[in-house]
C-alpha cells in the first residue's frame, strides 16, 4: 500500500521553522523510540544545520529496550546527545535540561564572562504525534501545550518559558512531501503519525501482521492465542483474531476493519509488548 499525507499547514510550518531557527541555540528533536530512524524528517537537515541537537527517544517504555540502546548510541554523536524518555512520567524531562546545559556549556560560559544574561532558546521538532507537546508540558511542570493521541494537534508555533531561563519553541508535527521508502511510511502509519482516516486500515493491518511475524512472532502470536503455521497468510491470522474476539457482522462474516483497528491499537497502547519497528541490522553492517 502506497501512503502519502502532507497537508498544507506542514508547508507553512517548515517555512516558519526555517525563519525561527536563527533565534534558537539548540534543537530538541523528538523521535518515537519505536521507530526513531523512520521519524527522521529529511527536510529537517538543512533547518538544523550545525546547531547542537538533543535527540529525545520518546515513548521508550513502548520500545524494545535493547534496540533503544543501539539507537541511543547511533544518535549520540559530536554536538548531539540522545536520551530515552517517557515524557508522560512526572519530572522525567529533567535529563533534557541537563543535556541542553552540557551541549551549550561553552556558550553559557562566554555569556557569563561577558556578564550577559540571556535565555537559552530551543526549538522542539518532530513528526506528528511523537509527543512534543507532552514533553514541553513535562519540562514546564504544567499544562501549556495542547496534546492529543492523534496527528496534527499542534498547528502553530508557540514560545513557552520554563524554569532555568529557558525558552522553547513548540512547532507542529511535520512530515515530508513524498515517502521514497514504503517501509518508513508504513512505520509512521503504525505509530499513528499519519492520519488514520486517509488509510486503508484493513490493508495496513495485514502489512503490520507480516512485520510482526517477521520481527516479533512470539509476542504477536501470544497476544492473540494463535499458532504459527508456515504457509498461513496474514489475512488468515486477521480472520482468526476476528472470530476469536467475536468481531463479526451480520451473517457471521468477519468485521475486518474492527479487527484491524484493534490490532493497531494493541500495538500503539503497548499491549503486544515492547516493540521497535526500525531494523538495526542495516546500520550495523
User: Who's near 236: CB < 8 A, 6+ residues apart?
Assistant: none
Torsion angle of C-alpha atoms 91, 96, 102, 106, degrees rounded to 10: -110
Beta strand pairing call for 80-84 and 120-126: unpaired
- Write out pLDDT tens, residues 69-91: 999 999 998 899 999 999 989 88
pLDDT grade for 147, boundaries at 50, 70 and 90: very low
The DSSP letter of residue 51 is: -
DSSP H or E run through 70:
helix 65-75
> Is the per-residue pLDDT at 93 higher than 90?
no
Residue 143's pLDDT is what? Answer: 56
Contact 17, 47 (CB under 8 A): yes
> Is the per-residue pLDDT at 151 higher than 50?
no
pLDDT grade for 31, boundaries at 50, 70 and 90: very high
d(CA 129, CA 195): 10
Residue 282's pLDDT is what? Answer: 67
Contact 29, 44 (CB under 8 A): yes
Q: What nine digits make up the cell of 88?
A: 508522560
Distance between alpha carbon 233 and the CA centroid of its chain, in Å? 29
Total residue length of the chain? 285
Q: Does residue 36 sit in helix, strand or coil?
A: coil
Q: Domain boundaries in the chain?
A: 8-170, 200-284
User: Who's near 239: CB < 8 A, 6+ residues apart?
Assistant: 254
CATH number of this structure's domain 8-170, picked from the four choices 3.40.50.300, 3.40.1360.10, 3.40.220.10, 3.30.70.1520: 3.40.50.300
Which CATH fold would you assign to the domain 200-284?
Conserved Hypothetical Protein Ylqf; Chain: A; domain 2 (1.10.1580)
Q: What is the DSSP string of 164-220?
A: TTEEEEE------S--S-HHHHHHHHHTT-S-GGGS-HHHHHHHHHHHHHHH-HHHH
- Write out pLDDT tens, residues 237-266: 999 999 999 999 988 899 999 999 999 999
> Is the per-residue pLDDT at 64 higher than 70?
yes
> Is the per-residue pLDDT at 177 higher than 50?
yes
Amino acid at each position: 500500500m502506497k501512503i502519502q499525507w502532507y497537508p498544507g499547514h506542514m508547508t507553512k510550518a517548515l517555512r516558519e521553522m526555517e525563519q525561527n531557527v536563527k533565534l534558537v541555540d539548540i534543537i530538541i528533536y523528538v523521535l518515537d523510540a519505536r521507530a526513531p530512524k523512520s521519524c527522521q524528517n529529511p527536510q529537517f537537515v538543512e533547518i538544523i544545520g550545525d546547531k547542537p541537537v538533543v535527540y529525545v527517544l520518546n515513548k521508550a517504555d513502548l520500545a524494545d529496550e535493547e534496540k533503544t540502546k543501539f539507537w541511543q548510541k547511533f544518535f549520540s554523536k559530536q554536538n548531539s546527545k540522545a536520551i530515552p524518555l517517557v515524557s508522560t512520567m512526572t519530572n522525567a524531562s529533567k535529563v533534557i535540561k541537563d543535556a541542553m546545559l552540557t551541549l551549550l556549556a561553552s556558550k553559557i560560559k562566554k555569556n557569563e564572562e561577558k556578564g550577559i544574561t540571556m535565555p537559552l532558546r530551543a526549538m522542539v521538532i518532530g513528526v506528528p504525534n511523537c509527543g512534543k507537546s507532552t514533553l514541553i508540558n513535562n519540562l514546564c511542570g504544567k499544562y501549556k501545550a495542547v496534546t492529543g493521541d492523534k496527528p496534527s494537534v499542534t498547528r502553530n508555533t508557540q514560545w513557552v518559558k520554563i524554569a532555568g531561563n529557558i525558552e522553547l519553541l513548540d512547532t507542529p508535527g511535520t512530515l515530508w512531501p513524498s515517502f521514497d521508502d514504503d517501509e518508513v511510511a508504513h512505520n509512521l502509519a503504525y505509530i499513528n503519525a499519519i492520519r488514520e482516516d486517509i488509510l486503508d486500515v484493513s490493508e495496513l493491518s495485514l502489512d503490520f501482521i507480516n512485520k510482526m511475524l517477521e520481527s516479533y512472532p512470539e509476542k504477536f502470536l501470544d497476544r492473540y492465542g494463535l499458532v504459527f503455521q508456515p504457509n498461513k497468510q496474514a489475512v488468515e491470522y486477521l480472520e482468526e483474531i476476528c472470530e476469536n474476539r467475536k468481531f463479526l457482522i451480520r451473517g457471521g462474516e468477519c468485521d475486518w476493519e474492527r479487527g484491524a483497528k484493534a490490532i493497531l491499537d494493541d500495538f500503539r497502547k503497548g499491549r503486544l509488548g515492547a516493540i521497535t519497528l526500525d531494523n538495526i541490522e542495516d546500520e550495523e553492517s
